[in-house]
Amino acid sequence: MIAQKINATHALENQRMALTLQQQTSILQLMLAMFKTAPGASNLMFLGSLLQSGQSLASLAQSLTESSLFFDRQYAAYLKPDEFAVKFVHDLVGDRVSISDKSLVVDYLTHRMIAGATQGELIAELMSTLSPIPASNLNWGKAASHHNTRNATKVVTHLLGSTFTPANIAVVVDYMLAQMAAGKTFGEMIVWAIDTVIGVDHDNVVWGKAAVLFNNRIEVSKYYSVDKAGTAIDRAALRQILAKVTVDNETVAAAKMTIDHLLCNDSGLSTDAVDDFQFDKILVIKKNKVLPMPQGAAKRTELMV
C-alpha cells in the first residue's frame, strides 16, 4: 500500500512537470472563479491535460458550466426517472415557465432516462440548451435570463468577494450578460472576468483589492494542489480554508499552516472516492453519445428554441 502511494505521488509529480506554469495557473484560476476552491493535484493534472491536448480555456470553462458540479445540485441515485426530472426542472427554472412547458420537458427527460441517459447527462444537456436562449423568448426567456444571471453572479462573487459592493458586482454581471446576448459564450466571459481581475494594478482604486484577494487565494490553492500535491477532494474543507484568505498576507500564511495540519493529521480532507468533485468522471459525460429522442417528443425541444 505504501509503495502504491509513493508511485502515485511520483506519477503526479512527473505529470505536473509536464504542464507549463501558465497551464497550471490557468486551471487554478478557473477552479477558484467557478467553484471557489482548489482543484487538488489529480483534478489539476486532468484539466491541464485537456489544455495540453489543444482545448482552449474558454472551451473548458464552457464545458464546466454545463456540468452538474457547477449547477451545484446533487440528486439521489435512487430517484425514479420522473422524480428526478421533476426535481431537476424545478430547481433549474422554478416558476419561470408555464406548467405545460415544464411538463413537456419533464416528460422528455423521463423518457431519456428510461432509455439509458444518466442524471449527469441530462443536467448537462438541458443546461447547455437553456443558456443560449434569448431573454425575448416567450416560453423560456425568463428562465434562461435567470439561469445566466445566477451563474454570472456566482463567478463574479467568487472573483471579487467582499472587495466589491453588491451594486458594483451587479454592474459586472450585467456587462457579462450583455456580451453573452451579443454572441459570447459564458465560458469566454469567465475567462474575460479572470483576465480582468489579474490584469489590473494592485493600487487600482476599483479593482485593486480584488486582484490582491484573488492572487492570495491562488497562492493558497497552488500550495495545496502543486506544492503539497494534495489529492483530497473534500470541497467543503478546501472552500472553508480559502474563505478565510483575505487581502492580508498573514491570512495566506495561516491558510498554509491549516493545510499542513490537515494533511499531516489526515483529519479534515477526505479522500472518499464517492465525493463528486472529480472532473475525470464529470467531464466524460460531455463525450458520451447523446441518446436519440423518443418518438413523439420532437416538439418538446422546439419549446426551448
Query: Which tens digit of pLDDT belongs to each residue from 185-198?
Result: 999 999 999 999 99
Question: Domain segments of the chain: what residues?
Answer: 20-55+207-270, 75-199
Nearest to 42 by CA among 13, 67, 1: 13
Enter the C-alpha cell of residue 102: 415544464
**Residue 15: pLDDT above 60?**
no
Q: How much is the pLDDT for 301? A: 47
Q: How much is the pLDDT for 247? A: 94
Asked if 173 contacts 152 with a C-beta cutoff of 8 angstroms, the reply is: yes
Of 41-55, 80-94, 186-200, 252-266, the least confident: 252-266
**155 vs 26: CA distance, rounded Å:** 15
Nearest to 220 by CA among 192, 194, 246, 191: 246
Asked if 189 contacts 176 with a C-beta cutoff of 8 angstroms, the reply is: yes
Enter the C-alpha cell of residue 299: 416538439
* For range 53-67, the mean pLDDT: 94
Asked if 247 contacts 216 with a C-beta cutoff of 8 angstroms, the reply is: yes
Residues 6+ apart with CB under 8 A from 88: 73, 75, 109, 119, 122, 123, 126
Query: Which tens digit of pLDDT belongs to each residue from 205-232?
Result: 889 999 999 999 999 999 999 999 887 6
Asked if 44 contacts 225 with a C-beta cutoff of 8 angstroms, the reply is: yes
**What residue type is 154 in one-letter code?**
K
**Residue 302: pLDDT above 90?**
no
Q: How much is the pLDDT for 5? A: 44
Q: Comparing 237 with 17, which gets the higher pLDDT?
A: 237
DSSP code for 161? G
**Residue 285: pLDDT above 60?**
no
Asked if 283 contacts 63 with a C-beta cutoff of 8 angstroms, the reply is: yes
Tell me whether residue 138 is exposed, middle or buried, using C-beta atoms within 10 angstroms of its C-beta: 0 to 12, 13 to 18, 19 or more: exposed
**What residue type is 197 in one-letter code?**
V
Q: How much is the pLDDT for 274? A: 42
Of 3-12, 33-42, 66-75, 159-168, the least confident: 3-12
Q: How much is the pLDDT for 239? A: 87
Query: Which tens digit of pLDDT belongs to each residue from 113-164?
Result: 999 999 989 999 999 999 999 999 999 999 999 999 999 999 999 999 889 9
Q: How confident is the model at residue 297 (pLDDT cuts 50, 70, 90)?
A: very low
Q: How much is the pLDDT for 3? A: 44
